[in-house]
Amino acid sequence: MGMAYVSRSRKKMWLHKVVFLPMFIFLCLSSLSCAARQPPASRQKLQVHKHLKRLNKTPVKSIQSPDGDMIDCVHISHQPAFDHPFLKDHKIQMRPYYHPEGLYDKNKVNTESKERENTIKQLWHASGTCPEDTIPIRRTKEEDVLRASSVKRYGKKRHTSIPMNRNIPKSADPDLVNESGHQHAIAYVEGDRYYGAKATMNVWEPKIQQPNEFSLSQMWILGGSFGEDLNSIEAGWQVSPDLYGDNNTRLFTYWTSDAYQATGCYNLLCSGFIQINNNIAMGASISPVSAYRNSQYDISILIWKDQKEGNWWMQFGDGYVLGYWPSFLFSYLADSASMIEWGGEVVNSEPDGQHTSTQMGSGRFPEEGFGKASYFKNIQVVDKANGLKSPKDIGTFTEQSNCYDVQTGRNSDWGHYFYYGGPGRNPNCP
């Protein structure tokens, strides 16, 4: 085995010298800017600029947001999705064929949340609106890309952020739990075929101890195994200094079809999601956010599969249909999801060898309840018959309940709900 390997690699070296080296020199001589002769710093700069050019499409109009973001109103047919070779001749679907049934049932819960949602906005709305036939895109700045470990990894979660193995036996494996340093406090359902999920979650601005850490609250629509082929569609709010350069709470989405390896990204930072809405920018700051013992602000997110076309749609609040992930992006999710999760996730990079003090949710434990702890309420799933239903047999999971915890409940106003979160480092979580 060893021998064969050596001789093969020797052969490769020889091939390299004879064929590739002269070719390389030739390319160098014939090209004005020879990448190989540039110092690494300016080569990286070139790469960054190329990437920015790919991401930032020529806008019809630009809006300067008070938080420093530039929101570009890009013509709907020029959005990043259409860089995807499979979407070259794609005809944009301007609305879903079906919403899940039961979504607009007149009941107390819905009208109540409608009133509250009307007051929650994205910060950039203070400075203008995007015209029809455009979509708002948060412009990527050079420094955004430079904060990433590489141009290629910009806008992607780390491989190790596999949501965790939520199958209880494996998650009890210490290596798996502590390997990634990601900590969760979630509720989940599994064991059925799911065609969507919905929840209303209150929004906070958790403190982040280190810029390389984040805190997010989201739902996961999952298919496949937690190994190499996990399919995931995710949406919620997050604070991520590395991704955005500040501590603001932002609306985000994520997708992957290979367990966070080569495919997928946050928001519109790669081609995949097709946006149709001109009001909501992915990755833009949400304002206002909830305050301890004070006003509570929440957002509703619905993700569902249009069972006619197969696309996965996302709706924000009661009226904003944002767009869809085409079915072909996925393997397992091309059919249905096998697991849904709702809850919080933080990165614990163990600064100073101690548990991080990065907060999850409001930074308070579930016991504190309304006005203090963070919650998900009216959690529902979409079944095969396209109906929004209360989930059966909700499980919960957390790696270290002394750091971040979760508690489920049910009542007539909130349906299935749970409180979750915590402060991270504390005397019981050293």
Ligand X SMILES: *[C@@H]1O[C@H](CO)[C@@H](O)[C@H](O)[C@H]1NC(C)=O
Nearer to ligand X, 241 or 310 (CB): 241
Nearer to ligand X, 208 or 274 (CB): 208
Nearer to ligand X, 182 or 372 (CB): 182
The one segment of 63-71, 170-178, 307-315, 381-389 that binds ligand X by CB under 6 A: 170-178
Shortest distance, CB of residue 241 to ligand X, whole angstroms?
6
d(Cα 411, Cα 108) in Å, to the nearest integer? 13
Shortest distance, CB of residue 248 to ligand X, whole angstroms?
9
Nearer to ligand X, 240 or 257 (CB): 240
Active site residue 228: no
CB of 318 within 8 A of CB of 307? no
How far does CA 268 lie from the centroid of its chain? 10
Nearer to ligand X, 2 or 427 (CB): 427
Nearer to ligand X, 129 or 212 (CB): 212
Shortest distance, CB of residue 317 to ligand X, whole angstroms?
28
The one segment of 46-54, 78-86, 172-180, 185-193 that binds ligand X by CB under 6 A: 172-180
| Among 112, 190, 246, 368, contact with ligand X (rule: CB under 6 A) | 246
Residue 249: which of 207, 300, 302, 197 has the closest Cα? 207
The one segment of 23-31, 82-90, 143-151, 241-249 that binds ligand X by CB under 6 A: 241-249
The beta-strand segments (E) located in 277-404 are: 286-287, 298-305, 312-316, 320-325, 337-347, 374-382, 388-389, 395-398
Q: Is 164 in the site for ligand X (CB under 6 A)?
A: no
Find the catalytic residue in 117, 213, 234, 341. Answer: 234
Q: How many CA atoms lie within 13 A of 354 on its CB side?
A: 13
Nearer to ligand X, 102 or 241 (CB): 241
What residues contact residue 82 under an 8 Å CB cut-off, 6+ apart? 88, 90, 271
Outline where 213-362 has alpha helix (H): 241-244
**Tokens representing 367?**
């016991």
Q: Is 178 in the site for ligand X (CB under 6 A)?
A: yes
Nearer to ligand X, 374 or 398 (CB): 398
Q: What letter would DSSP give residue 124?
A: G
Shortest distance, CB of residue 156 to ligand X, whole angstroms?
21
How far does CA 229 lie from the centroid of its chain? 17
Shortest distance, CB of residue 239 to ligand X, whole angstroms?
8
Q: Is 177 in the site for ligand X (CB under 6 A)?
A: yes
Shortest distance, CB of residue 177 to ligand X, whole angstroms?
4
d(Cα 182, Cα 346) in Å, to the nearest integer? 6
The one segment of 84-92, 173-181, 328-336, 377-385 that binds ligand X by CB under 6 A: 173-181
d(Cα 333, Cα 327) in Å, to the nearest integer? 7
Find the catalytic residue in 190, 345, 367, 368. Answer: 345
The one segment of 113-121, 137-145, 240-248, 266-274 that binds ligand X by CB under 6 A: 240-248
CB of 315 within 8 A of CB of 133? no
| Amino acid at the residue 119 | T
Q: How many CA atoms lie within 13 A of 257 on its CB side?
A: 14
Residue with tokens 């085409």: 326
Active site residue 234: yes
Site mask for ligand X (CB under 6 A), range 192-231, x = bound = ---------------xx-----------------------
| Among 174, 293, 294, 411, contact with ligand X (rule: CB under 6 A) | 174
| Amino acid at the residue 61 | K
Q: What letter would DSSP give residue 411?
A: E
- Minimal CB distance residue for ligand X: 174
Q: Is 247 in the site for ligand X (CB under 6 A)?
A: yes
Cα maximum dimension of the chain: 76
Shortest distance, CB of residue 284 to ligand X, whole angstroms?
16
CB of 300 within 8 A of CB of 118? no
The 10 Å CB-count burial string (b at 16+, else e) for 82-116 is bebeebeeeeebeebeebbeebeeeeeeeeebeeb
Q: Is 261 in the site for ligand X (CB under 6 A)?
A: no
Shortest distance, CB of residue 366 to ligand X, whole angstroms?
20
Q: Which long-range contacts (CB under 8 A, 24 or more apart) does 53-62 make?
A: 54/80, 54/83, 55/80, 55/140, 55/269, 56/137, 56/139, 56/140, 57/137, 59/134, 59/137, 60/131, 60/134, 61/128, 61/130, 61/131, 61/134, 62/139
* Residue numbers at the binding site for ligand X (CB under 6 A): 174, 177-178, 207-208, 241, 246-247
Active-site positions? 234, 345
